Amino acid sequence: MLFAAIPYFQIPVVYVPLPGTFELPIDPWATMVCIGFIAGLEVARYRAIKLGLDVRDIVDGSVVTVLSGFFFAHIFTVFFYYPERMKFREMKLALDNGATQDFFSFGYEGFMSLVRVWEGFASTGGFIGAVIGSALFYLAYRKVGYWRHADCITYGFPIGWFFGRVGCGVVHDHIGSKTDFFLAMDFGEKMGIRHELGLYEAAYMVVVSAVFLYLGKKDRPPGFFLASFAVAYAPLRFVLDFLRNSDLSAPDARYFGLTPAQYGMIIMFFAGIWVIYRLKKVEFAPWPMDGKPNQEERALQPAKEQ
């Protein structure tokens, strides 16, 4: 029996008038994502200072990680959620004599669907892109310890993800199936009461952020927070995807009953387990979190500790 439900609300796009005939759109989702990036970066930067890491490596690495994440998030969306955008299509070529000839072409729109990176993001692709971007940045460009620096970024990530998922929730990017769950949202008589999956994840990130802040009071083996986030997040996301709607417009693609994200979460979970297993076999000497700058060789510990 339903005792309550969150009343429907939505934050609209605000248009700020500019000189002339222009207006600046303030998108609530994009705004929350920007706030999340700044908040998560500040938490990561604080930890970097306490560990004596070069803050520039964390700030620059965070920017590269996020940009790479967004790019691959879009590519993942096109290939796995909307593959029809990439299909070859039958077109007609006008000949000089006025006749037409049929041919198949990848098409301008197929190419532009990849270029228009703002048209759809999948968080699973974002995680893949984040790993690729951060690995290239730290290992190939800055040539510093990957696990230590990526772990520092991940420490602040749950707070950033909280704001991002709040953004998804206030614009209702992830409306779920009908339910009588008391934390669901009432979308009115036409749509009924449904799961609001963005807000569910946001609430969970409050818990994960609190746990990370507590565990971060002392130094942890490089890779600890990366693995912890993977193991903590993947099961929840795997379950939540079963609550996605299938009766509204543009339902998620499914392959053998699972969404692309669910397959990604399976990989993500076992990757986290592998890192945890690896950490148990590595000798680790905690760094003093005294805020004193470390020498260059301290940021480049032996490979077994990186």
* pLDDT tens digits for range 123-138: 999 999 999 999 999 9
Q: Is the pLDDT reported for residue 33 higher than 90?
A: yes
Count of structural domains, the chain? 1
Q: What's the number of CA atoms in the CB half-sphere (13 Å) around residue 296? A: 2
What tokens appear for 145 in the block?
């310890």
Contact between 305 and 278 under an 8 Å Cβ cutoff? The reply is no
Q: Is the pLDDT reported for residue 91 higher than 70?
A: no
CA distance 96 to 117: 37
Check residue 86 and give its pLDDT. 73
Whether residue 25 is contained in a domain is answered as no
Check residue 158 and give its pLDDT. 98
CA distance 246 to 178: 10
Check residue 305 and give its pLDDT. 44
Whether residue 9 is contained in a domain is answered as no
If we measure between CA atoms, which residue out of 65, 80, 183 comes closest to residue 129? 65
Whether residue 12 is contained in a domain is answered as no
Could you tell me what percent of the chain has a pLDDT over 90? 71
CA distance 237 to 191: 23
- Mean pLDDT for 100-116 is 65
Predicted confidence band of residue 106 (pLDDT cuts 50, 70, 90): low
Whether residue 4 is contained in a domain is answered as no
Whether residue 31 is contained in a domain is answered as no
Identify the residue with better confidence: 237 or 283: 237
Does the global pTM surpass 0.75? yes
How much is the mean pLDDT over the chain? 88
Check residue 294 and give its pLDDT. 64
Check residue 304 and give its pLDDT. 41
- Mean pLDDT for 3-17 is 87
Q: Which domain holds residue 156?
A: 36-90+101-305
Q: Is the pLDDT reported for residue 78 higher than 70?
A: yes
Contact between 153 and 134 under an 8 Å Cβ cutoff? The reply is yes
Q: Is the pLDDT reported for residue 1 higher than 50?
A: no
Lowest-confidence pick of 59-63, 110-114, 241-245 = 110-114
Check residue 222 and give its pLDDT. 95
207-234 pLDDT, tens digit per residue, is: 999 999 999 999 999 999 999 999 999 9
Whether residue 105 is contained in a domain is answered as yes
Whether residue 298 is contained in a domain is answered as yes
Whether residue 139 is contained in a domain is answered as yes
Find the length of the chain: 306
CA distance 168 to 120: 12
Contact between 31 and 118 under an 8 Å Cβ cutoff? The reply is no
Lowest-confidence pick of 22-26, 116-120, 136-140 = 116-120
145-200 pLDDT, tens digit per residue, is: 999 999 999 999 999 999 999 999 999 999 999 999 999 999 998 999 999 999 99
Identify the residue with better confidence: 89 or 156: 156
3-state secondary structure the chain: CCCCCEECCCCCCEEEECCCCCEEEECHHHHHHHHHHHHHHHHHHHHHHHHCCCHHHHHHHHHHHHHHHHHHHHHHHHHHHCHHHHCCEEEEEECCCCCEEEEEECCHHHHHHHHCCCCCCCHHHHHHHHHHHHHHHHHHHCCCCHHHHHHHHHHHHHHHHHHHHHHHHHHCCCEEEECCCCCCEECCCCCCEEEEHHHHHHHHHHHHHHHHHHHCCCCCCCCHHHHHHHHHHHHHHHHHHHHECCCCCCCCCCECCECHHHHHHHHHHHHHHHHHHHHHCCCCCCCCCCCCCCCHHHHCCCHHHC
CA distance 174 to 172: 5
248-296 pLDDT, tens digit per residue, is: 887 889 999 999 999 999 999 999 999 999 999 988 989 988 887 764 4
Q: Is the pLDDT reported for residue 108 higher than 80?
A: no
Predicted confidence band of residue 63 (pLDDT cuts 50, 70, 90): very high
